[in-house]
Structure 1
């Protein structure tokens, strides 16, 4: 089992021009990761055509491909959407840099179950292209969907080229315990986002609480059990960490959607916010520049690097515990 890291783990450094894709690849290798998962979604504070990957040019993609080879890393791509244009763009980039798995998710502005039908058809339509490229698509449980809903789509596509992407924390946004989601998704999992979460009180958010990302080991997700399920029940040969810290997000659906009805226990235990609320509010973590001083922003970026290093050690310890490298 190899272990990798996704660019979002350093989202602040990307947003504020302290890191680019080549820097990220080097940093991942220095920490000890064996692979990189590169996010090509524009926006999120980054105006480059390929998001955190940068310019959509042959020269840039050649340089990224060569840097990945230089360090002997595996590569995966993160995108969103399932339209023909979305998928063909992601396949082109993945093929160029040598990635063999693409994570995608449904682009919800607000939850609409009618979008599942179009997603199913989109994925069926792209299977011939996946076969040509020999690249797999993994549909993520991305904050709006329960594990069963994602698996249902993949089962109906009925192709070895389309599986699921198990995010260790996203199920919480639909009131679903991560262990429960892991059991459902593991047999179909082609890639992952390994992370940790807590619940934080926020009176401005729906239901009065938010899901908050923290460095691995500082949260309440039963990562040991989730990791073990992935090892024993999935075909995965890699686990990728996406450390969503600092990051908070509201619940996306009603209590009980995924089986959990209230906060307070297990993964849904309520904790103190990672940062002083007088300095920055939880829902300001992702785009903090309007809320904090430059000095505090530097601290938050340093915290991301420290968190990624801590996450690597925790992920490696689980890998060493449950499987052969």
Structure 2
């Protein structure tokens, strides 16, 4: 664990040399790149607001990395560093604010995807519809949502608890579907460390609606003992949108550690994933979710982890643990807990910039 009193760069030597030689972060701030067309075939990768977990609503008094107070500031910054769009929460947007977002987005030539909560009961439908309308006013055609804000193996202690969650999730989607169908905006359910891929496919098929699909996260399901190539293969045919991420893994006593790492440094076959998504949906958007944080613990060798899983075989578990051993991340996984606030903001920005650069040079996303 690194000490903030004796701080050394958390970046690989190659990436550190590149940053030092080019001054990439400073250049990105000083020389905004040109806006991009709305042809998604050639547009640059977008950025999910969670890539700026430290900077979003930050109270750190930083001149270099001032906090983003709203979507307008996020959009402006993402345009400056060369992103093609953003995915951001739309809760409590007024019509006036949505129009400001639309005007800025159109002026910069960027796309917008909203992130929205699902109605839990009929009492929530009116507010849900207001947020859908605000999103549409701002120019969003896709709304990403999740059924669970936490993680399946942490939230649920019994199989009955999970089945209750599943029933409530299906009800929420049934309440949301008539609204998004009415306003012709797509609702994309993320595999958010809640559903294994086949479970989410079952739910999407059950909804049987052209307006309900998937936000395909490339890395989340390692936490549920599924490899990214298998998850992408199952979910790509139903996907409207994506969270592009790369993952680093390492063994620990209770299972394995899982971290988002800059694109190209982890175990996800990003090129194959992008190609497969485009095969099924040529207009799909690719959104970076590079969350700079401490590794997540996946305690798959503990009995409590298995409370809600009855369909994972021994060979599946063995295959994941073998993969972790064979593809263990070179060096230390990213940690932020001992960084000073300014250091964490800097680390976050460099990870985003490195991933954007990789997406353009290696994945062909943008100019």
Q: TM-score, normalised by structure 2?
A: 0.71
| Matches for 1:1-325 after TM superposition, within 5 Å | 1=41, 2=43, 3-17=45-59, 18-20=67-69, 21-40=71-90, 50=91, 56-83=93-120, 85=124, 87-107=128-148, 110-111=155-156, 112-201=162-251, 207-251=254-298, 253-254=305-306, 257=312, 259-261=316-318, 262-265=320-323, 269-271=327-329, 272-275=331-334, 282=335, 285=336, 288=337, 292=338, 296-320=340-364
Measured after TM superposition, the shift of residue 201 of structure 1 is 4.6
Aligned-partner SS, 2:188: strand
Between 190-199 and 22-31, the greater mean CA deviation after superposition = 22-31
Give 1:224 shift.
1.9
The higher-RCO structure (CA 8 Å, 6+ apart) is 2
| Structure 2 spans left out of the alignment, 5+ residues | 1-40, 60-66, 157-161, 300-304
Instruction: Map Cα deviations across residues 219-266 of structure 1 (whole Å, 9 max, x no partner).
Output: 221212222221223454321111122343233854984834443426
Partner of 2:8: none
SS of 2:55 mapped into structure 1: helix
Instruction: Give deviations 1:68-123, integer Å, cap 9, x for gaps.
Output: 12211111012344535274354133123111111111126524133222322332
Question: Which ranges in structure 1 are unaligned for 5 or more consecutive residues?
Answer: 41-49, 276-281
Q: Which residue of 2 aligns with 1:278?
A: none
Give the Cα–Cα distance (whole angstroms) in 2 for the partners of residues 267 and 226 of structure 1.
23
Counterpart CA distance in 2 for 1:87 and 1:174 is 30
Once the 2 structures are TM-superposed, how far is the Cα of residue 14 of structure 1 from its aligned partner? 1.1
**Alpha-carbon distance in 2 for matches of 1:89, 1:251:** 38
CA distance in 2, matches of 1:88, 1:193: 25
Count of residues in Structure 1 that have an aligned counterpart in Structure 2: 292
Structure 1 residues 15 and 260, CA, compared in 2 at 3 Å: closer, same or farther?
farther
- Counterpart Cα distance in 2 of 1:90 and 1:25: 19
CA contact (8 A) 1:188 1:235 kept: no
Question: Post-superposition shift, 1:319?
Answer: 4.3
The Cα offsets for residues 32-77 of structure 1, whole Å up to 9 and x where unpaired, read as 221111134xxxxxxxxx4xxxx64444333323221221111101
Q: CA deviation at 1:141?
A: 0.5
User: Residue 32 of structure 1: SS of its match in structure 2?
Assistant: coil
Question: What residue number does 2:15 align with?
Answer: none
> CA–CA distance in 2 between the matches of 1:22 and 1:99?
14
Cα shift at 1:318: 4.5
CA contact (8 A) 2:148 2:194 kept: no
SS at the partner of 1:14?
Answer: coil
Q: Does the 8 A contact of 1:189 with 1:236 survive in 2?
A: no
Secondary structure of the structure 2 residue equivalent to 1:263: helix
CA–CA distance in structure 2, aligned partners of residues 257 and 241 of structure 1:
29
What is the CA distance between 1:156 and its match in structure 2? 0.6
